[in-house]
Amino acid sequence: MSAAASLPHDAARQHVSGSARYVDDIPTPQGTLHLAFGLSSCAAGQIRSVDLSAVRACPGVHLVLEAKDLPYANDVSPSAHDEPLLADGHVHYAGQPIFLVVAESHHLARRATRLAKVEITAEPAILTIEQALTAESRFEDGPRIYTKGTPQSAMKGAIHRLQGQINLGGQEHFYLEGQAALALPGDHGDMVIHSSTQHPTEIQHKVAEALNIAQHAVRVEVRRMGGGFGGKESQGNALAVACALAASFTGRPCKMRYDRDDDFIITGKRHDCRIDYDVGFDDSGRVQTLEFAHYFRCGWALDLSLPVADRAMLHADNAYDLPHVKITSHRLKTNTQSATAFRGFGGPQGMVGIERVMDHIAHSLSCDPAEVRRRNYYPEMSSKPAARPSVTPYQMEVTDFILGDMTESLLQRCDYHARKVEVARWNASHALLKRGIAFSPVKFGISFTLTHLNQAGALVQIYTDGSVLINHGGTEMGQGLFQKLTQVAARSLGAQQAVIRASATDTSKVPNTSATAASSGADLNGMAVQAACDTLIGRLKDHVAAQHGVKPEEITFAEGQVTAPGLVLTWQEVIASAYEARISLSATGFYKTPEIAWDRIKGAGQPFLYFAYGAAVTEVVIDTLTGENRILRCDILHDCGASLNPALDVGQIEGGFVQGAGWLTTEELVWDASGQLKTHAPSTYKIPACSDRPEIFNVDLWPGQNAQKTIYRSKAVGEPPFMHGISAFLALSNAVAACGPHYPDLQAPANSEEVFNAVARARGSAS
Amino acid sequence: MSKKKHVTLNVNGKTEEFLAEPRELLIYTLRERLNITGPHIGCETSHCGACTVTIDGKSVKSCTMFAVQAEGAEITTIEGIGGPDNLHPLQEAFKEHHGLQCGYCTPGMITRATKLLEEIPNPTEAEIRFGMAGNLCRCTGYQNIVKSIQAAAAQMSAAKEAAE
């Protein structure tokens, strides 16, 4: 059954030999020009004058464009039309593109940008959450509020009450391949775009708007990205539109690749935020009532901030059945990079909020934090007698909850309770080093919360030699989507894996696609590929039945053989004869997610088809003198339903954990008082290295299947494992708590400096 | 523009001669002049390792070396280690043990790993962790990269013993 096999990534052979091509590796036609943006060094202000004469005079420079030179739409936003490609009168953050240089080479273009004389009258910049709140600088008319029960009156009956606050830093995607695009001008003003994007259709739309041509005149092709993580959902628009404009002006191919520092300075990142909490709970740690206030720093433009902040609210409960809860979400507008999608899409921030509350409750009651969490879980799907499903803060019934069983299994297999005792014993005999251990669960909602995005198309073509080419709307960014979908096609067609190939994503083959995002790639496109395959198999069965006098339902296609009573044919024989019988060997497939519908303003309904679950236990050690720390061990049990490819799924889980732990530990973004991002290269922004991964790292898949009829009963896997990184943060908190009687109040990222400060807080010696 | 200098390199067994500006970085020589695009540009500040090549027996990040500094050197890139139909044991191991996801870091990672295994033929897990710490990967969490190197080391040692 090839749909569940741990086969290697479809392009593994090309990757290991350096022959897999990314946008920057595509051989460019003679005469290709290269682009660079000139950036604002000011966070907020009015552009007084732009003198580009020295830039234009620079040898090798062909064209320089400003906002006033753009013939049509000057916009690269995903939907709100609030993001000019080139600043128009005002600048809104330090790093905003003001002009575009088109030159003979990448370096010439970049050097030429430095010759501009730009005068900006600076205005007061709104940089921090506090400044934005004071200035009432926000998106939407006011905060969004979701409420379940009567949280305020329930607080009167609460036995214990805690209030607190956690600040969460943002995160740079640091996809190893920076943003890149290549535009090739064609006949009739057509444009072909190669882009490193998760959203080819949006690139198509933005290019069509910028050139004032129909969407059918723009073809966007994406073979692969060198990592995306959400950072290529909307942030590639500017490069593709710039290349298309320059190609249209010059009639020559145009290419743009951000230098790494520019990539950091120009593009959006994960939203940083502050979460305030006020919780009432009983003696067992069971939450009685809870109020959250989320303050999200969205940056200068809307981008995807509303659905990101919504998803944070939708995960403010995580795995916990909260009887009374109110979540207030502020979406603040600041003069910084426009924060964007990043793996988890707000979910991680929402989840850290509630996990912090659980940690704080357990500390205040001196209870085992894992036990406090279990006491607050939603009712288990398998509980007998069947429990009445509880509802989330947004009124969706939780009917597929399996974390009770998963937690029990994980705690046993990683020997949690004995290790907790051992950690305490070890800490008692070590004065300077302290260990910590923590458990955290994940319940992550699967579906785009903008309901209409939950659709996908596919085109499956069989050629006369029996080889099969599948096309679909999803993009490959390393997650193994193409491999999974070739396996889906092989199983659906009953053909051998070797005859199936996935083509580059292409807007001229499958139109009107959604971004490859929200972990939905395999769920949506897998179903669309299967639908196309089913159509083809229906035709082939009818053909074989007519030709050989058997019934269609008696025919089986499996592993490249076609069998019926008294009949054995090869796949190739059937395809050859079907062609001669003039049977169409090409079919489209389409899928839309059933059952989902909700009201995001009220916060009520069913935004998700199902939930993906997981649980992690992480152990760390800290040096109390320096705050330095190490992850010693991590054990994860994760739910991929009936996995489409266990090896690829385990890879997503391992990578997700390390990336999530990086977010909450070493990865710190620093802006100075004037709004300049000071950490804009890997020299100052530290993502985890090989030496940072856990010394012991055990990942297991939960042996279940999706209760929903997803593609072969699998579950989405891209984002949910990211949030296992929260267990590393909690383990650090646990280690710090071993230093003194006070709650560590650990803030994120918990880098060495923060751990050092938290040790002082735990001891009550903070200055 | 400074005066161009004559440069002679041996890249993957082939002699290359050309005139280059003194500040031409080796990664650009490889990618743009010689169309060797396996080594990738990640950060251009010698931190990420995507551009790693081997120069005269040492792992070097080719984004922070000038072409003129490599005058007369023997350079091996991923293309010189093995092609798609002629994989080196390390390449085979990275493929089979899922030591890659997006693949962008992979050429530099494998190029570095070939030197690591020359320096330490049977490395411990800790030696791999620190020997590979100069090459960043954002996708895998490194687990399968370490496994791939361990598998290749075992296979290469066994092959060497069998030959002796």
pLDDT tens for B1-45 read: 579 999 999 999 999 999 999 999 999 999 999 999 999 999 999
Six token digits for residue B50: 């995507």
Place of tokens 């001008």: A185
Q: What is the pLDDT of residue A685?
A: 98
Contacts of A34 in chain B (CB under 8 A): none
Distance CA A435, CA A624 (A): 10
Q: What is the pLDDT of residue B1?
A: 55
List the single residue in B87, B125, B138 with the smallest CB-CB distance to A176: B138
User: Among candidates A624, A749, A731, A746, which has minimal Cα distance to A685?
Assistant: A749
CB A132 within 8 A of CB A55: no
CB A272 within 8 A of CB A664: no
Q: What is the pLDDT of residue A2?
A: 44
Q: Is the pLDDT of residue A233 over 90?
A: yes
Kindly list the distances between the CA atom of residue A88 and the CA atoms of A50, A66, A338, in Å, as whole numbers in the listed order.
11, 8, 17
Q: Is A176 on the interface with B (CB under 8 A)?
A: yes
Q: Quick: pLDDT tens for B89-102.
A: 999 999 999 999 99
Q: Quick: pLDDT tens for A146-158.
A: 999 999 999 999 9
**CATH topology identical between B5-80 and B89-158:** no
Contacts of A477 in chain B (CB under 8 A): 102
Q: What is the pLDDT of residue A387?
A: 77
Q: Quick: pLDDT tens for A491-507.
A: 999 999 999 999 999 99
DSSP strand pairing (B52-55 vs A629-638): unpaired
Contacts of A257 in chain B (CB under 8 A): 41
Q: Positive or negative CA dihedral for B54, B56, B58, B62?
A: negative
Distance CA A634, CA A661 (A): 11
Residue in A with minimal Cα distance to B139: A655
Centre a 10 Å sphere on the Cβ of residue A228 and count the other Cβ atoms it contains: 32
Angle at A131 between CA A142 and CA A88, to 5 degrees: 80
CATH of domain B5-80: 3.10.20.30
Q: Is B15 on the interface with A (CB under 8 A)?
A: no
List the single residue in A177, A478, A683 with the smallest CB-CB distance to B40: A177
CATH of domain B89-158: 1.10.150.120
Residues whose CB falls within 8 Å of the CB of residue A57, separated by 6 or more in sequence, listed in order: none
Q: Is the pLDDT of residue A566 over 90?
A: yes
CB B119 within 8 A of CB B142: no
Distance CA A761, CA A696 (A): 30
- Cβ within 8 Å, pair A176-B101: no
- Cβ within 8 Å, pair A690-B83: no
| Banded pLDDT at A3 (limits 50, 70, 90) | low
Q: Record the pTM.
A: 0.97
- Cβ within 8 Å, pair B37-A693: no
Residues whose CB falls within 8 Å of the CB of residue B85, separated by 6 or more in sequence, listed in order: none
- Cβ within 8 Å, pair A9-B104: no
Q: Is A576 on the interface with B (CB under 8 A)?
A: no
C-alpha distance from B107 to closest chain A C-alpha (Å)? 5
- Cβ within 8 Å, pair A17-B138: no
E strands, A375-523, where? 433-446, 455-462, 468-472, 500-502, 505-506
Q: Quick: pLDDT tens for A58-102.
A: 999 999 999 999 999 999 999 999 999 999 999 999 999 999 999
CB B101 within 8 A of CB A480: yes
What are the boundaries of each domain within chain B?
5-80, 89-158
Distance CA A449, CA A314 (A): 10
Contacts of B141 in chain A (CB under 8 A): 651, 654-659, 688, 693, 697
**Chain B, window 56-75: residues with a beta carbon less than 8 angstroms from a chain A beta carbon:** none
Model ipTM?
0.98
| Catalytic option among A695, A719, A753, A754 | A719
Residues whose CB falls within 8 Å of the CB of residue A452, separated by 6 or more in sequence, listed in order: none
Q: Is A9 on the interface with B (CB under 8 A)?
A: yes
Residues whose CB falls within 8 Å of the CB of residue A279, separated by 6 or more in sequence, listed in order: A161, A162, A163, A287, A289, A290, A291, A357, A360, A361
Q: Is A30 on the interface with B (CB under 8 A)?
A: no
Residue in B with minimal Cα distance to A59: B1
* Averaged pLDDT, A546-556: 97
Q: What does the mean pLDDT of chain A come to?
A: 97
Task: Count the residues in chain A.
Answer: 767
List the single residue in A13, A682, A697 with the smallest CB-CB distance to B47: A682
Residue in A with minimal Cα distance to B127: A691
Angle at B124 between CA B121 and CA B125, to 5 degrees: 125
List the single residue in B107, B138, B141 with the smallest CB-CB distance to A654: B141
Residue A117 is inside which H or E element, if any? strand A117-122
Q: Is B78 on the interface with A (CB under 8 A)?
A: yes
Q: Is the pLDDT of residue A1 over 50?
A: no
Q: What is the pLDDT of residue A767?
A: 61
Q: What is the pLDDT of residue A335?
A: 98
* Averaged pLDDT, A431-441: 98
The SS3 call for residue A612 is strand
Q: Is A58 on the interface with B (CB under 8 A)?
A: no
| Distance in angstroms between the alpha carbons of the first and the last residue of chain B | 55
Which of B90, B96, B143 is the best residue to mutate to test the A interface, defined by the most A CB atoms within 10 Å of its own CB?
A: B143
User: Which residues in A170-204 are b (16+ Cβ under 10 Å) and which e?
Assistant: bbbbbbbbbbbbbbbbeeeeebbbbbbbbbbbbbb
Residues whose CB falls within 8 Å of the CB of residue A118, separated by 6 or more in sequence, listed in order: A38, A40, A47, A49, A50, A51, A98
- How many CB pairs (< 8 A) connect A and B? 187
CB B132 within 8 A of CB B150: no
User: Among candidates A563, A527, A531, A521, which has minimal Cα distance to A544?
Assistant: A563
- Cβ within 8 Å, pair B78-A18: yes
Angle at A273 between CA A271 and CA A278, to 5 degrees: 145
Residue in B with minimal Cα distance to A481: B101
Q: Is B152 on the interface with A (CB under 8 A)?
A: no
CB A620 within 8 A of CB A661: no
Q: Is the pLDDT of residue A527 over 50?
A: yes
Residue in A with minimal Cα distance to B110: A16
Q: What is the pLDDT of residue A382?
A: 87
Q: Is A25 on the interface with B (CB under 8 A)?
A: yes
Kindly list the distances between the CA atom of residue A409 and the CA atoms of A3, A319, B75, in Å, as whole numbers in the listed order.
27, 16, 52
According to DSSP H, which parts of A458-500 are helical? 481-493
**Longest Cα separation, chain B:** 56
User: Which residues in A242-273 are b (16+ Cβ under 10 Å) and which e?
Assistant: bbbbbbbbeebbbbbbbbbbbbbbbbbbbbbb
User: Among candidates A56, A76, A73, which has minimal Cα distance to A65?
Assistant: A56
User: Among candidates A290, A366, A292, A274, which has minimal Cα distance to A734?
Assistant: A366
Distance CA A108, CA A46 (A): 28
A136 is catalytic: no
Q: What is the pLDDT of residue B2?
A: 72
Q: What is the pLDDT of residue A765?
A: 87
Which of B45, B64, B98 is the best residue to mutate to test the A interface, defined by the most A CB atoms within 10 Å of its own CB?
A: B98
| Banded pLDDT at A389 (limits 50, 70, 90) | confident
Distance CA A24, CA A130 (A): 41
Six token digits for residue B76: 């091996």
Q: Quick: pLDDT tens for A567-580.
A: 999 999 999 999 99
Q: What is the pLDDT of residue B118?
A: 96
Contacts of B2 in chain A (CB under 8 A): none
The phi, psi pair for A356, rounded to 5°, reads: -65, -40
Q: Is B127 on the interface with A (CB under 8 A)?
A: no
Contacts of A656 in chain B (CB under 8 A): 141
Residues whose CB falls within 8 Å of the CB of residue A376, separated by 6 or more in sequence, listed in order: A285, A286, A287, A319, A320, A321, A322, A358
Residues whose CB falls within 8 Å of the CB of residue B32, separated by 6 or more in sequence, listed in order: none
Single-letter amino acid code for the residue at B142: Y
List the single residue in A226, A657, A693 with the smallest CB-CB distance to B102: A226
User: Which residues in A306-339 are b (16+ Cβ under 10 Å) and which e?
Assistant: bbbbbbbbbbbbbbbbbebbbbbbbbbbbbbbbb
- Cβ within 8 Å, pair A681-B45: yes
Q: Is the pLDDT of residue A629 over 90?
A: yes
